[in-house]
Homo-oligomer: A and B are copies of this chain.
Amino acid sequence: MNLPPRDAARDAAPDATPGARTSRGEESRQKIVDAALALFREKGYEDTTMRAVAERAGVALGNAYYYFQSKEHLLQAYYARSHEAHLERVKPILARERTLEGRLKGLLTAKIEGEEPYHRFAGLLFKSAADPESPLNPFSPESSATRQAATALFGEVLAGAKLRLPQDLKARLPQLLWLFEMSVILFWIHDRSPGRARTHALIEHATSLVVRLISLASNPFLAPLRKKALRLLDAISVAGP
Contact in complex: B132, A189 (CB < 8 Å) = yes
Q: How many residues of A contact B (CB 8 A)?
A: 45
Q: Smallest CB-CB separation from A225: which chain B residue? A: B212
Contact in complex: B123, A190 (CB < 8 Å) = no
Contact in complex: B127, A131 (CB < 8 Å) = yes
> How distant is the Cα of A124 from the Cα of B192 in the complex, in angstroms?
23
Contact in complex: B4, A192 (CB < 8 Å) = yes
Instruction: Give the chain B neighbours of A193 by CB distance below 8 A.
Output: 4, 241
> How distant is the Cα of A235 from the Cα of B69 in the complex, in angstroms?
43
Contact in complex: B124, A131 (CB < 8 Å) = yes
> How distant is the Cα of A1 from the Cα of B139 in the complex, in angstroms?
20
Contact in complex: A186, B229 (CB < 8 Å) = no
Contact in complex: A235, B130 (CB < 8 Å) = no
Q: Does A3 contact B (CB under 8 A)?
A: yes
Instruction: Give the chain B neighbours of A206 by CB distance below 8 A.
Output: 232
Q: Does A129 contact B (CB under 8 A)?
A: yes
Assess A7 versus B205: contact at CB under 8 Å? Given A216-B225, A240-B187: no
Contact in complex: A201, B236 (CB < 8 Å) = yes
Contact pick for A4, options B3, B137, B198, CB 8 Å: B198
Assess A187 versus B3: contact at CB under 8 Å? Given A201-B235, A205-B231, A206-B232: yes
- Extra contacts besides A123-B133, A202-B232, A212-B225 (6): CB < 8 Å: A3-B191, A124-B131, A130-B186, A190-B240, A191-B240, A202-B236
